[in-house]
């Protein structure tokens, strides 16, 4: 579903992605972790071309992102992105936040878009908030709406960049629970997170990145019980 082959990226002199090779199979959940500034956000932002790559090959659902003929709008419709900051439209109700893109971009009839939005709100446990505005919701509720909004475009891949980092501790669990359900339903997911409990329980693979390089890639059991690299051990000491 996603294939990085020798991908490099620079910000001026900063070699932010250094020879990334990574394969994500359909239905796989891959957690990306690593120190602050190691290139995690840049890495997942390349997958929907929020950041272009400079060298190598990146193929997402059969689309070659280095090919100028690749349709970025099609790519973005297939790849949902959930950010640390929820980025809901503040002047729109919860329901309208979710129906906006399906109506405007997919030309879904309003009634159908609203029915789908209600089904998604049920799924994230927020059906009763359909008329609320984002400012009337807690951070955890806003993030669950943001996930529902992404799902409304029927993506094949969901990317999460530290989706719980801006939340109060008591709200982290409700967002992780929604993400876990999504994983169980077979969504292909790449998740940047420091929530090592989630990584252990939900992910198929953990990738540790430092200074723009993948230093370790392992099953969660291997990664947590028997990390091979010294830097991984140090990192785990800090986050566990």
Q: Which residues bind ligand ADP (CB under 6 A)?
A: 11, 14, 16, 34, 36-42
The CB-nearest residue to Mg ion is 41
Beta carbon of residue 40, minimum distance to Mg ion (angstroms, whole number): 5
Which parts of 152-229 fold into alpha helices (H)?
169-184, 196-202, 220-225
Beta carbon of residue 31, minimum distance to ligand ADP (angstroms, whole number): 13
Closer residue to Mg ion in complex, CB, 42/141? 42
Tokens of 74: 């099609």
Closer residue to ligand ADP in complex, CB, 94/199? 199
Beta carbon of residue 131, minimum distance to Mg ion (angstroms, whole number): 33
Tokens of 164: 């719980």
> Which residues make up the interface to Mg ion (CB under 5 A)?
40-41
- The site partner of 164 among Mg ion, ligand ADP, none (C-beta below 5 to 8 Å per kind) is none
Sign of CA dihedral 114, 156, 178, 100: negative
Give the chain's radius of gyration (CA, Å): 18
Closer residue to Mg ion in complex, CB, 95/146? 146
Closer residue to ligand ADP in complex, CB, 134/163? 163
Q: Whole-angstrom Cα distance, residue 190 to residue 41?
A: 11
b vs e for 137-165, b when ≥16 Cβ sit within 10 Å of the residue's Cβ?
Answer: bebbbbbbbbbbbbbbbebebbbbbbbbe
Beta carbon of residue 232, minimum distance to ligand ADP (angstroms, whole number): 15
Closer residue to ligand ADP in complex, CB, 43/98? 43
Beta carbon of residue 83, minimum distance to ligand ADP (angstroms, whole number): 11
Nearest 5 degrees, angle CA 232-CA 237-CA 38? 45
Tokens of 9: 């990226």
């Amino acid at each position: 579903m996603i294939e990085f082959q020798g991908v490099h990226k620079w910000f001026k002199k900063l070699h932010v992605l250094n020879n990334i090779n990574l394969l994500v199979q359909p239905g796989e959940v891959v957690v990306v972790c690593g120190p602050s500034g190691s290139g995690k956000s840049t890495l997942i932002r390349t997958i929907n071309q929020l950041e272009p790559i400079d060298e190598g090959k990146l193929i997402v659902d059969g689309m070659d992102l280095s090919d100028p003929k690749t349709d970025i709008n099609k790519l973005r419709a297939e790849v949902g992105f959930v950010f640390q900051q929820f980025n809901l439209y503040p002047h729109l109700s919860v329901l309208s936040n979710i129906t906006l893109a399906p109506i405007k971009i997919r030309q879904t009839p309003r009634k159908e878009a609203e029915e789908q939005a209600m089904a998604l709100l049920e799924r994230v446990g927020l059906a009763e908030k359909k008329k609320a505005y984002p400012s009337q919701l807690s951070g955890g509720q806003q993030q669950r709406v943001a996930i529902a909004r992404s799902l409304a475009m029927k993506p094949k891949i969901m990317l999460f960049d530290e989706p719980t980092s801006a939340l109060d501790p008591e709200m982290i669990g409700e967002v992780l629970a929604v993400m876990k359900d999504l994983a169980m339903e077979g969504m292909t997911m790449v998740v940047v997170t420091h929530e090592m409990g989630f990584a252990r329980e939900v992910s198929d693979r953990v990738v540790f990145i430092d200074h723009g390089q993948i230093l370790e890639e392992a099953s969660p059991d291997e990664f947590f019980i028997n990390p091979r690299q010294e830097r991984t051990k140090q990192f785990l000491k800090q986050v566990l």
